[in-house]
Amino acid sequence: MNLHEYQARDILRRYGIPIPPGEVAETPEQAREIAQRLAGTGGGSGGRVVVKAQVHAGGRGKAGGVKLAKDAAEAGEHAARILGMSIKGLPVRRVLVTPAAEIASESYLGIIVDRASQRPVLMVSPAGGVDIEEVAAKTPERIHRLAVDPRYGLLAHQALGLALKLYREMPQARAAADIMQRLYAAFYAVGASLMEINPLVATPDGTVAALDAKIVVDDNELERHPEIAALRDPSAEAPSEVQARQAGLTFIKLEGSVGCCVNGAGLAMATMDLVKYYGGEPANFLDIGGSSNPQKVVDALRIITADRSVRSILFNIFGGITRCDDVANGIVQATQQFPMKVPLVIRLTGTNEALAIEILTKAGFSALTDMDEAVKQAVAKARAA
Ligand code: GDP
Ligand code: MN
């Protein structure tokens, strides 16, 4: 689950990380009022504020979603423009208004769960502000990494060692090291899979502060953290993922054209691998779950067919606890409820396979039992469409 920047800022602030204050606006008028109020509290920014789009996307700065305003009136104008924007397909419904900081340098701080080392890895770079992916591609030597042993956490000397890659002045290095340890504590406490501060800035007077915050929380942690789960904003998520969650399906939207409807996460992964192997691109990851019923199949098809980039739909069902006839009935019911605008390729084998094939044949569908053959056909049909 993604958090908005303003939510991530609140969390990091609670862990003692220095972050300028800020408030969220839904209208230009509110943005103007907040800017006025922030100017009244001083803060050394001379009334200048930053207006920032609150969407689940990075690179807002480049997209025009982060704007400096010299006064409250200009903050209102920027807010009006940003509130009308979409960034990476996501409509901007809220902006954060925060006092503008003076920037002497921008660094990057991030922690991710790293599968290779099976640990949280802290990454820092003096080349902050820009896309860290770009730094990783062009100047990888400017990124410094440390795998943290979760038994001990991030130790003071480790943090200081990394902080000295960012700052030569000792007071700034100490401040950055303290921020790293606090970031690690927050990361561990909320069950994040990613936490990022980009940019971490030094101001001309030598203060170190976080000006941006990104947090992704592992969905499996949400049950343990109801206070984090409550921060979910479905209006900021891909509509297909929201519908899938409501239907009890495990669904992740991807960029390709072959819609996949599979039972079991392992088979879903194998199916996506095969789609790629035969030259196609999956449009989604979808696991209809172990004990399917026809309704889940109807829900799944409704979500997949609503995606305009889908050119063919591949069913790959291995009947165990899942009964193939349930899936077949779901497919038939779905076609009665809404039009299938793209070709279906159905492969099913296992429990009640013969019954399923009978149901499908009666309804005018053909079914395959060979997985390779089915994937090849689905890829070919997506290409031909
Ligand atoms: P992102 O592009 O989505 O990562 O949004 P950021 O919050 O990181 O902002 C993008 C860029 O805007 C930063 O790298 C800064 O260069 C600039 N920026 C953000 N906040 C401030 C600020 O308070 N003062 C100044 N001068 N620049 C800022
Ligand atoms: Mn940023």
The beta-strand segments (E) located in 154-270 are 192-202, 208-210, 214-217, 250-253, 258-262
Q: Which atom of ligand 1 is nearest to the CA of 198?
A: 8
Around ion ligand 2, residues with a beta carbon closer than 5 Å are 198, 212
State in Å: Cα 211 to ligand 2 middle: 8
> In the Cβ-directed half-sphere of 350, how many Cα atoms lie within 13 Å?
16
Q: What distance in angstroms lies between residue 220's CA and the mean position of ligand 2's atoms? A: 26
* Å from CA of 149 to ligand 2 middle: 27
Q: Give the number of whichever ligand sits closest to the CA of residue 106.
A: 1
197 Cα to the center of ligand 2, angstroms: 7
Supply the pLDDT for residue 43.
54
Which of 3, 200, 212, 215 best tests ligand 1's pocket when mutated (most atoms within 8 Å of CB)? 212
C-alpha 67 to ligand 1 mean position (Å): 8
Cis-peptide, bond into residue 239, ω within 30° of zero: no
Model pTM score: 0.83
- Long-range contacts of range 147-152, CB-CB < 8 Å, 24 or more positions apart? 147/114, 147/117, 147/119, 147/120, 147/121, 148/111, 148/119, 148/120, 148/121, 148/122, 148/184, 149/119, 150/119, 150/120, 150/188
Distance between Cα 5 and ligand 2 center (Å)? 9
58 Cα nearest atom in ligand 1: 3
The pLDDT of residue 354 is 96
pLDDT by residue for the chain (385 residues), tens digit each?
Answer: 999 999 999 999 999 999 999 999 999 999 999 999 998 775 556 789 999 999 998 899 999 999 999 999 999 999 999 999 999 888 999 999 999 999 999 999 999 999 999 999 999 999 999 889 999 999 999 999 999 999 999 999 999 999 999 999 999 999 999 999 999 999 999 999 999 999 999 999 999 999 999 999 998 999 999 999 999 999 888 888 889 988 989 899 898 999 999 999 999 999 999 999 999 999 999 999 876 689 999 999 999 999 899 999 999 999 999 999 999 999 999 999 999 899 999 999 999 999 999 999 999 999 999 999 999 999 999 999 8
Evaluate whether 317 touches 350 at the Cβ level (below 8 Å).
yes
Q: 48, 66, 132: which to mutate for ligand 1, most atoms within 8 A of CB? A: 66
Residues belonging to the active site = 108, 196
Please name which of 226, 234, 241, 289 lies closest in space to residue 261, comparing C-alpha atoms.
289
Report pLDDT for 42.
57
Between CA 52 and CA 338 the distance in angstroms is 40
Q: Please report the atom of ligand 1 found closest to the CA of residue 106.
A: 14
Bridge partners (DSSP) listed for residue 261: 315
Q: Which ligand is nearest to the CA of 52?
A: 1
Are the CB atoms for 299 and 250 separated by under 8 Å?
no
pLDDT digits 0-9 by tens, 141-198: 999 999 999 999 999 999 999 999 999 999 999 999 999 999 999 999 999 999 999 9
| Ligand 1 pocket list (CB less than 6 A) | 50, 52, 58-61, 66, 68, 100-101, 103, 106, 129, 198-199, 211-212
Q: What is the pLDDT of residues 68-100, one digit of tens each?
A: 999 999 999 999 999 999 998 889 999 999 999
User: Which atom, in ligand 1's list, is nearest to the CA of 60?
Assistant: 3
Which atom of ligand 1 is found nearest the CA of 63? 2
